[in-house]
Structure 1
Amino acid sequence: MQFLRLVRIVLSSFFGVRKRASHEADFANVNFVLLPFVAVFLAVAIGAIIFGFVHLVADSTSAMQGF
């Protein structure tokens, strides 16, 4: 459950959609040692998803150019 709370904190900070009260409540009970590792892992995961999606779209459109 702690890991899911860390994921929620990191994702909400990536996208900037937190209210101040919930932000302060979460940071009162968070493990600050694991937070940077979760943040780096999620940043790499989101980057890999975006890269994979762009690669998939670019591959499919390059095959269609010759008709």
Structure 2
Amino acid sequence: MELIRMARIVLWSFFGVRNRAAHEADFANLNFSWLPFVAIGLAALIGGCILGVVLLVTHPAITAQGF
């Protein structure tokens, strides 16, 4: 459950749309030793998804000649 809470904190910080009271409440009882690993893992996952979509869209074998 703590891993999900850390992932939620990291994702909210990526988007930057969290109010201060909720942010401080989450950081009040959090184990900070795993937080950098969760942040790096989620950043790599989001980057991989973006790269996958870009490669899918720009793949040279897919043509739009019939449209």
TM-score (norm 1): 0.90
Deviation at 1:29, TM superposition (A): 1.0
Aligned mates of 1:9, 1:17 — CA distance in 2: 11
**Residues 3-46 of structure 1, C-alpha deviation per residue, up to 9 Å, x if partnerless?**
01000000000000111000000000111000000000000000
Distance 1:10 1:53 in 2: 22
How many residues align structurally? 65
Q: How does 1:32-43 map to 2 (within 5 A)?
A: 32-43=32-43
How far apart, CA to CA, are the structure 2 residues paired with 1:63 and 1:13? 36
Which residue pairs with 1:7 in the alignment? 7
Q: How do 1:1-67 and structure 2 match up within 5 A? A: 1-59=1-59, 63-64=62-63, 67=65
| Offset, 1:59 | 1.1
| Unaligned stretches of 5+ residues in structure 1 | none
Shift of 1:63: 2.7
Per the normalisation by structure 2, the TM-score is 0.90
Aligned-residue sequence identity (percent) comes to 57
Higher helix share: 1
Give the superposed CA RMSD: 1.4
SS at match of 1:36: helix
